[in-house]
Structure 1
Amino acid sequence: MGLQTVMEMKISSLEVYGDSMLVINQLLTHYEVRKDDLIMYHQMATQLLERFDFMMLEHVPRQDNQMADALANLAATLALTKDEAVNLLVCQRWVVPVTLGALQEGVNVISVLSIDVDDLR
C-alpha cells in the first residue's frame, strides 16, 4: 500500500527503511521467498520498486525502529499543507491485484470489485 501511494505521488527516488531483515534481503534478492503465500506480495513489491529511477532498501534494527517510525510520521505531516488531506484506505488484509493473482496457479487470491447495480448477495 505504501509503494502504491508513493507511485501515485509521482515520486521517482525512494529510500526504504524496514525493520524486517528477511523482507529487505528478499527484496534485494539476497534471500529467496520460500513461503507460497508471500510470493505474490514479493512479486508485487518488486514490480513497484522497479518503476523508480532510484531506489534504496536498508534494514533498520528493531531497537532503532522507533526513530524511523517517528521520521516517517514527521515526513507525512510535513508533506501536506495546512489545507490538504490525504485519504488512505486501511484494511485488515492485503489485496493483491487480479493481474498478479492470475500469474500464480494454485494460490488463493482475494479480488475486490465494485458493482454499480444492487446485488442481493
Structure 2
Amino acid sequence: MEVQLPILDVTHEYWTMYFDGFVMAPSSGAGVVLISPDGSRLCYAICLHFSASNNAMEYEALINGLRIAIKLGATRLYVRGDSELVIDQVMKESSCKSPLMMAYFQEVRKLEDKFQGIELHHIPRRDNDAADFLAKLAARRDPSPSGVFINDIHEPSACIMEGLTQMPFDA
C-alpha cells in the first residue's frame, strides 16, 4: 500500500528583501524593505556616514539588509535589487575587478552561510521604488515617516586590509 504524503508549501517560510543604495554628495544612504512570510513590511532607511562609490553603496544596502534579516530570524530569503553589477557578482556571473568589490563580495558570502536558502534576483529599477525611496530618504537625512526604522552606519562593511592599516578604496 502506498502512503501519500501531503505536498508541503515551503515558500511560506521565505522572507523577501528589496535593497537599494544611493549616493548624493556629501551623504549617502541605503534602503531595505523586508517582507515577512505573513506579508508584514519592515522598512529601513540606513544613513551611511562615509563616502563610497555607487557600487559600494549597493553592496552596503545588500549587506545591511542581510544583517537585519538575520537579526529578525529569517532563514530563507528572496533578495531583489536593481544593481545588475552587484547581483551578477554575487551570483558569480561576473568577476569582481577591484579589491574593494571583492571584499564586499566576500562579506556577502559570509552572511549567506547564515541562511538555509537564499536567492538573489536582478529587478528593473521601476520595480524597486520602495527601497529607492528609503535610500534617498536616508541620504537626504530627512525625518523618518511613521513605520520607517532609521539606522546609522559609520564604518564600511568591507575594506581592503594592507598590513595593519585598513584602507577603504572606491571602485
- TM-score, with normalisation over the residues of structure 1? 0.60
> Structure 1: which 5+ residue stretches go unaligned?
73-84, 111-121
Superposed displacement of residue 94, structure 1: 1.9
Amino acid in structure 2 at the alignment position of 1:42 = F
Q: Whose strand fraction is larger, Structure 1's or Structure 2's?
A: 2
Among 82, 86, 95, the alignment partner of 1:32 is 95
More helix by share: 1
Deviations 1:39-65 (A, max 9, x none): 211101111012211111000112332
Partner of 1:94: 156
Aligned residue among 81, 85, 109 for 2:166? 109
Name structure 2 gaps, 5 residues minimum.
Answer: 1-63, 135-146
Match of 1:49 in 2: 112
Q: Quick one: which amino acid aligns to residue 117 of structure 2?
A: F
Number of equivalences: 90
> What TM-score, normalized to structure 2?
0.44
Q: How far apart are the structure 1 equivalents of 2:105 and 2:86?
A: 9
Corresponding residue of 1:77? none
> Compared with structure 1, are the counterparts of its residues 45 and 6 closer, same or farther at alpha carbon in structure 2 (3 Å cutoff)?
same
Measure the CA separation in 1 of the matches of 2:65 and 2:128. 17
- What is the root-mean-square deviation in Å for CA atoms of aligned residues? 3.0
1:63-82 matches, within 5 Å, as 63-66=126-129, 69=131
CA distance in 2, matches of 1:95, 1:55: 20
Structure 1 residue 14, shift from structure 2 partner:
0.5
TM superposition shift of 1:106 = 2.5
